[in-house]
Amino acid sequence: MVTPPPPTPRTPPTPQTAPAADRHERAEQRLHTAGVAYRPVDSAEAASANLAWWDADADDYHATHGEFLGESDFRWCPEGLLEADARLLGEVRDTDVLEVGCGSAPCTRWLHTQGARAVGVDLSGGMLRHGLAAGERTGIRVPLVQANAERLPLAGDSFDTACSAFGAVPFVASVETLFAEVARVLRPGGRWVFAVTHPMRWIFPDDPGPTGLTATQPYFDRTPYVEVDADGRATYVEYHRTMGDYVRALAAAGFRLTDLIEPEWPEGHTRTWGQWSPLRGKLFPGTAIFHTVKERQT
Ligand SMILES: C[S@@+](CC[C@H](N)C(=O)[O-])C[C@H]1O[C@@H](n2cnc3c(N)ncnc32)[C@H](O)[C@@H]1O
């Protein structure tokens, strides 16, 4: 899979203690994943598949990445960039901040520690369950909402800032719908800052080693990456958008692009996260962080 994420609620998976040797093996077994396809997937199928996927993978995801992410830290990407250093969201104290696709919500909790009134939204009850447990452990309890980011159950003009660290944006069928929803809940002048896999990564195999250095997939082919069961039903879906697609969708939703951050692989950072590795990180970007401001009502 490319990343280091109205559906029917699923029962959260049985807690597991250690991640499988193949990071995704247990989730794939639970969902009977049989292969990979590239085909169109509509919003309902994507939401249903990704809800099931993130529920099934939640325990292994946290067993593998939980320590790196921290329980109340805001890490933007596998390159390790911290919001505490980057300050892409500006001063958040006494402001309303929404995290879209918050997972277990370490970023939402960090925002709370900075004095923000922070709310996390995520599709997966399994991921949010980890967030509730972390809230109990840390004593930092933040409001968590289970919802599809394409239909936010939140009032308009109710947030000063929205952010996302690899949450929701790569997994929704319509990024236009998601951006319009974020624009609706943001107040005029509000920031929308989100990190996604750098679009250029799409052209390479999803491999942290030398195999991941040779382009095999057309950059301009937007057909989604889909994992499927034996009946062809999607068990995981991820969408590719070009840089231009993102810029156009942001403009259409009323956002002005104010910066595009491509975090460099830090010297001495040896941690591999899925396809993100020092080898590839030295050669080309793995993450794109879009920094935007809501200019007008749409
Ligand atoms: C890679 S995780 C990132 C979560 C968090 N930022 C972190 O670093 O742990 C992606 C998250 O996006 C969520 N997600 C996927 N599709 C979504 C959607 N349509 N609406 C809301 N959240 C979604 C998943 O449930 C998952 O928790």
In a domain, 130, yes or no: yes
Find all residues with CB under 8 Å of 79, minimum gap 6, and list them. Answer: 263, 264, 265, 266, 269, 276, 281, 286, 287
What residue's CA is closest to ligand 1, atom 5?
Answer: 103
Residue 152 near ligand 1, beta carbon < 6 Å: no
Which structure tokens are listed for 63? 């067993």
In a domain, 18, yes or no: no
Residue 47 near ligand 1, beta carbon < 6 Å: yes
Does the pLDDT at position 226 exceed 60?
yes
Give the separation between CA 161 and CA 16, rounded to whole angstroms: 35
CATH code assigned at 145: 3.40.50.150
In a domain, 3, yes or no: no
Question: What is the per-residue pLDDT for 297?
Answer: 59
Q: What are the tens digits of pLDDT across the range 162-176?
A: 999 999 999 999 999
pTM: 0.92
Is residue 18 very low, low, confident or very high in pLDDT (cuts 50, 70, 90)? very low
In a domain, 19, yes or no: no
Is residue 133 very low, low, confident or very high in pLDDT (cuts 50, 70, 90)? very high
In a domain, 136, yes or no: yes
Is residue 212 very low, low, confident or very high in pLDDT (cuts 50, 70, 90)? very high
176 closest CA partner among 102, 250, 99, 256: 250
Who has greater pLDDT, 5 or 52? 52
In a domain, 15, yes or no: no
Amino acid at 223: T
Q: Specify the number of domains making up the chain.
A: 1
Residue 3 near ligand 1, beta carbon < 6 Å: yes
DSSP letters along the chain, please? ------PPP-PPPPP-SS--SSTTHHHHHHHTEEEEEE----HHHHHHHHHHHHHHHHHHHHHHHHHHH-SS--B-STT--BHHHH-TT---TTSEEEEES-TT-HHHHHHHHTT-EEEEEES-HHHHHHHHHHHHHHS----EEE--TTS--S-TT-EEEEEEESSSGGG-S-HHHHHHHHHHHEEEEEEEEEEEE-GGGGGS-S-SSGGGGS--S-TT--PPEEEEETTS-EEEEE----HHHHHHHHHHTTEEEEEEE-PPPPTT----BTTB-HHHHTTS--EEEEEEEE-S--
What is the residue-averaged pLDDT of the chain? 92
In a domain, 142, yes or no: yes
What residue's CA is closest to ligand 1, atom 14?
Answer: 168
Question: Which domain covers residue 97, as residue numbers?
Answer: 41-68+87-294
In a domain, 208, yes or no: yes
Q: What are the tens digits of pLDDT across the range 53-109?
A: 999 999 999 999 999 999 999 999 999 999 999 999 999 999 999 999 999 999 999
Half-sphere exposure of 184 (CA within 13 A, CB side): 14
Residue 261 near ligand 1, beta carbon < 6 Å: no
Ligand 1 mutation target, pool 64, 122, 239, most atoms within 8 A of CB: 122
Residue 237 near ligand 1, beta carbon < 6 Å: no
Query: How many angstroms separate the alpha carbon of residue 239 from the centre of ligand 1?
Result: 13
Mean pLDDT of 9-36: 65
Does the pLDDT at position 5 exceed 90?
no
Residue 128 near ligand 1, beta carbon < 6 Å: no
Ligand 1 mutation target, pool 72, 124, 236, 239, most atoms within 8 A of CB: 124
Query: How many angstroms separate the alpha carbon of residue 141 from the centre of ligand 1?
Result: 19
